[in-house]
């Protein structure tokens, strides 16, 4: 029987690698009887989609522009190299 | 060639900056990554032949972002991967492996205002993470960089990456739970 600690680690790793079938089975069994870890697994998904939204908003936010000083510096460097 | 580069900087500079900022979450690091991208671009012999400069520049920028992460890597190893015991994250669990504090259901944002507040809190929580750990988490959790590629680039083992990502997720989850309305 997995502990919640081990189960939480497997839930996290399942986002990064395919679990072995033994791990999958053990995790599925644990999640079936543990609502805390089920909630944790759901939260990691919520976290992931929120982070995606956050990144997309930054990328789409036209009010965020390259600082004019930085832009001038880059222009200067481009010139120096030609 | 120089004038093309200038045109590109004007046309794509802001976009590239936002792309870098969204991932590195630091204005100076993002500016530097954009600068490095243009430097690499003008040195490339295929420079003038690019039919889709934005896509091409973004591809270069992705590598520059990983370079930036790699530069701070030693710092991450020192502060986040001290030893296995530390990596066990005992603070979140009791001696028997049960949750020290049980996860509480989140009321996910239901309208635009709440969404904005939620993302603001998430932003603050990300800021509390060590910068490179936050960057690794972002690179990974938006599904755009392959795990093995990240590990190869950052010269860390996949096991280390799992431990680091676990730490990042546990910390963020806890931080959100403390600061967001739960119930």
Domain check: are B169 and B93 in the same one?
A: yes
Q: Which residues of A touch B39 (CB under 8 A)?
A: 77-78, 81
Domain check: are B87 and B172 in the same one?
A: yes
Residues A25-50, mean pLDDT to the nearest whole number: 95
Domain check: are B166 and B100 in the same one?
A: yes
The residues, ordered by sequence, that sit 6+ positions from B124 with a Cβ below 8 Å of its Cβ are: B175, B179
CA angle B87, B92, B95 (to 5 degrees): 90
**Residue B5: per-residue pLDDT:** 82
Cα–Cα separations (whole angstroms), residue B46 to A42, B16, B42, B50: 46, 19, 9, 7
Domain check: are B91 and B37 in the same one?
A: no
* Chosen domain end from B23, B50, B71: B71
Domain check: are B45 and B113 in the same one?
A: no
Domain check: are B81 and B62 in the same one?
A: no
Shortest CA distance from A76: residue in chain B = B6
Domain check: are B28 and B86 in the same one?
A: no
Domain check: are B120 and B170 in the same one?
A: yes
Domain check: are B25 and B67 in the same one?
A: yes
Residue B63: domain span: 2-71
Domain spans, chain A: 4-80
DSSP A38: H
Could you tell me the pLDDT band of residue B82, with boundaries at 50, 70 and 90? very low
Q: CB of A9 within 8 A of CB of A39?
A: no
B93/chain A closest Cα distance in angstroms: 6
Beta bridge partners of B182: B106
Per the listing, tokens 């997309």 go with A56
Residues B91-102, mean pLDDT to the nearest whole number: 91
| pLDDT single digits (tens) B30-75 | 999 999 999 999 888 777 777 788 999 999 999 898 888 777 655 5
């Amino acid at each position: 029987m997995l502990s919640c600690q081990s189960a939480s680690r497997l839930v996290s790793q399942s986002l990064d690698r395919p679990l072995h079938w033994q791990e999958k089975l053990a995790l599925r069994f644990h999640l079936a009887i543990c609502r805390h870890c089920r909630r944790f697994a759901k939260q990691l998904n919520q976290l992931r989609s929120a982070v995606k939204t956050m990144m997309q908003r930054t990328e789409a936010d036209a009010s965020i522009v390259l600082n004019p000083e930085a832009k001038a510096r880059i222009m200067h460097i481009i010139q120096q190299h030609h | 060639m120089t004038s093309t580069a200038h045109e590109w900087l004007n046309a794509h500079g802001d976009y590239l900056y936002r792309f870098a900022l969204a991932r590195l979450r630091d204005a100076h690091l993002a500016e530097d990554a954009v600068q490095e991208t243009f430097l690499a671009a003008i040195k490339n012999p295929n420079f003038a032949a690019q039919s889709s400069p934005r896509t091409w520049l973004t591809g270069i920028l992705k590598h520059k972002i990983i370079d930036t992460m790699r530069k701070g890597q030693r710092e991450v190893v020192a502060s986040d991967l001290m030893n296995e015991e530390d990596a066990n994250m005992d603070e979140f669990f009791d001696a028997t492996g049960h949750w020290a504090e049980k996860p509480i259901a989140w009321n996910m944002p239901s309208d635009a205002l709440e969404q904005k507040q939620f993302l603001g809190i998430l932003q603050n929580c990300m800021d509390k993470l060590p910068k490179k750990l936050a960057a690794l988490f972002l690179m990974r959790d938006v599904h755009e960089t392959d795990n093995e590629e990240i590990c190869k680039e950052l010269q860390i083992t996949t096991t280390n990456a799992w431990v680091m990502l676990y730490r990042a997720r546990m910390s963020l989850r806890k931080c959100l739970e403390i600061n967001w309305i739960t119930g």
